[in-house]
C-alpha cells in the first residue's frame, strides 16, 4: 500500500536566522494492506511530521513516497496539489490530534462530508455519520451544533468519526485516543480493528504503549 524510501525532512526557519532543524533522516519502510504499524519515538522526534509528509501537508527534503491509489502506484513527493486532493479523498484518511473546524458547520455535516465527496447519497452519508457519533457517545443534542465549543475529548471523537466515516485504504492516526476516557478509547480501538478487517493499512502514533501493542503488529522507530 505504501513504500517510503530514503525519506528525509529538514525544516528551515527563515524568520529565525535560517536555523535548520533536521527531523526525519533517510527513512525507509513499507506497509501492506490490512497491516497496522506503529510509529514510535520520543516527543519532538518527528512522528507527527512523518504523518504530515505522507498526507502531503509537508514537502519532503529528499526521498520517495509511493502509494497505491486506485490500483496505480503514485509518487507523492512531486504530485500536483489537485491530484493530492484526489488521493486524500479516496485513499488516505488522516486523524489529527486536534480538530480544525470551520465556524457554523454542524457536527453531522463535518462527519458525513468525506462520504458525500465520494458520491454517497446524502441520506446514507448522514445515517453512517449518526451511527458513528452514537458509537462514540456524542449526545444527539450536539449533532446539529458546530463542534467549536465542544470539550477536547468530544472534538477528538468528532475528528475520529470523520476519519472513519469513509473507507480509506491507508489510515494515518496521530494519537487518536490521547484525551479519551476508557470507554471511548475502547470504541476507537474497535473502529481501528474494523477498518483493518476491511483491508485498511494503518500507520499510527499511540501515546500509550498497551494500546499500541493491542493494535499494531510492528513498530517503526524514529
Residues that bind ligand ATP (CB under 6 A): 11, 13, 21, 23, 41, 43-49
Task: Determine, following the binding rule CB under 5 A, whether residue 196 of this chain makes contact with Mg ion.
Answer: no
Q: How many residues bind Mg ion (CB under 5 A)?
A: 2
Cβ distance 195 to 188 under 8 Å? no
The least CB distance from residue 43 to ligand ATP, in Å, is 3
Contact yes or no for 170/31 (Cβ under 8 A):
yes
Q: Which stretch binds Mg ion (CB under 5 A): 40-48, 60-68, 127-135, 176-184?
A: 40-48
Choose between 47 and 168: whose C-beta lies nearer to Mg ion: 47
SS (HEC) of 7-71: EEEEEEEHHHCCEEEEEEEEEEEEECCCCEEEEECCCCCCHHHHHHHHCCCCCCCEEEEEEEECC
Query: Residue 24 CB, nearest distance to ligand ATP (Å)?
Result: 9
Minimum distance from residue 111 beta carbon to ligand ATP (Å): 25
21 interface partner picked from ligand ATP, Mg ion, none, CB below 5 to 8 A per type: ligand ATP
What's the min distance (Å) between Cβ of 38 and ligand ATP? 12
| Beta strands 36-40 and 201-205, pairing class | parallel
SS3 content of the chain, % helix, strand, coil (to 5): 40, 25, 30
Nearest to 5 by CA among 58, 77, 71, 56: 77
Contact 136, 184 (CB under 8 A): yes
Place of cell 501493542: 213
Nearer to ligand ATP, 16 or 140 (CB): 16
Closer Cβ to Mg ion, 129 or 205, answer by number: 205
Measured from the CB of residue 190, what is the shortest distance to ligand ATP in angstroms?
24
Among 1, 37, 48, 147, binds Mg ion (CB under 5 A): 48
- Which residues are at the interface with Mg ion (CB under 5 A)? 47-48
Amino acid at each position: 500500500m505504501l513504500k517510503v524510501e530514503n525519506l528525509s525532512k529538514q525544516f528551515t526557519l527563515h524568520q529565525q536566522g535560517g536555523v535548520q532543524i533536521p527531523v526525519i533522516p533517510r527513512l525507509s519502510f513499507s506497509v501492506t494492506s490490512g497491516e497496522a504499524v506503529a510509529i514510535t519515538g520520543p516527543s519532538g522526534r518527528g512522528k507527527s511530521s512523518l504523518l504530515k509528509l505522507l498526507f502531503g501537508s509537508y514537502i519532503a527534503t529528499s526521498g520517495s513516497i509511493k502509494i497505491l491509489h486506485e490500483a496505480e502506484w503514485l509518487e507523492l513527493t512531486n504530485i500536483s496539489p489537485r491530484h493530492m486532493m484526489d488521493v486524500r479523498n479516496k485513499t488516505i484518511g488522516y486523524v489529527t490530534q486536534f480538530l480544525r473546524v470551520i465556524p457554523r458547520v454542524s457536527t453531522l455535516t463535518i462527519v458525513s462530508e468525506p462520504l458525500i465527496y465520494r458520491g454517497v447519497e446524502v441520506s446514507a452519508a448522514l445515517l453512517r455519520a449518526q451511527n458513528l457519533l452514537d458509537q462514540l457517545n456524542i449526545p444527539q443534542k450536539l449533532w446539529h451544533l458546530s463542534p467549536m465549543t465542544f470539550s477536547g475529548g468530544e472534538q477528538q471523537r468528532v475528528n475520529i468519526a470523520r476519519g472513519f466515516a469513509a473507507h480509506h485504504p491507508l489510515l494515518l492516526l496521530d494519537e487518536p485516543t490521547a484525551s479519551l476516557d476508557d470507554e471511548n478509547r475502547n470504541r476507537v480501538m474497535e473502529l481501528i480493528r474494523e477498518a483493518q478487517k476491511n483491508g485498511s493499512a494503518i500507520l499510527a502514533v499511540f501515546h500509550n504503549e498497551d494500546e499500541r501493542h493491542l493494535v499494531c503488529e510492528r513498530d517503526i522507530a524514529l
